[in-house]
């Protein structure tokens, strides 16, 4: 239980940008300064940046959804061999325009369903983005107009 509390405190301090020198007691808490709290509660959009990944569409069978496989390379801790790992994420595709084999960029999003927590931003290659269909271009223009209206 204590280890769980310490890990939660560490994750909270990482997300708020604070630092913990050490945990001298069992239930030690980080020192929170007013500047840290004001920075958290008045966070800018840059501070709350969402994770983005680039992957390949491996399934487009569902309506308004695609499954994107993201590959990464890592070194085995003991044998020092480079290994390839693949994670699959279900992402929201509003216009059903991305097809099997497309290389796309996805961004973290609020939960849309049980498995969908990512949104497809567009093609990973900017040249393919320029060649996208007219439906995609109008959707992008509407999204930019909505962002401008909010800001």
Residue-wise pLDDT tens digits, 7-39: 666 665 555 555 555 444 444 555 545 444 444
Q: How distant, in Å, are the alpha carbons of 4, 80, 115, 122, 129 from that of 125? A: 42, 32, 26, 9, 7
Domain boundaries 52-150, corresponding CATH code:
2.40.50.140
What are the structural domain ranges in the chain?
A: 2-41, 52-150
Residue-wise pLDDT tens digits, 44-103: 454 467 899 999 999 999 999 999 999 999 999 999 999 999 999 999 999 899 999 999
**What one-character-per-residue DSSP string does 2-58 give?**
HHHHHHHHHHHHHHHT-------STT------HHHHHHHHT--TTTTPPPEEEEEEE
């Amino acid at each position: 239980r204590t280890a769980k509390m310490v890990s939660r405190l560490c994750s909270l301090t990482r997300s708020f940008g604070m630092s913990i020198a050490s945990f001298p007691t069992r239930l030690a808490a980080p020192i929170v300064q007013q500047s840290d709290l004001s920075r958290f509660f008045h966070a800018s959009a840059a501070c709350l940046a969402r994770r983005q990944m680039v992957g390949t569409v491996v399934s487009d069978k569902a309506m308004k959804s695609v499954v994107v496989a993201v590959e990464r390379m890592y070194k085995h801790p003991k044998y020092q061999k480079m290994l390839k790992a693949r994670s699959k994420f279900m992402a929201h595709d509003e216009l059903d325009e991305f097809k099997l084999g497309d290389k796309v960029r996805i961004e973290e999003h609020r939960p849309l369903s049980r498995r969908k927590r990512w949104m497809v931003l567009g093609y990973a290659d900017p040249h393919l983005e320029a060649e996208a269909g007219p439906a995609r271009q109008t959707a992008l223009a509407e999204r930019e107009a909505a962002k401008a209206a909010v800001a």
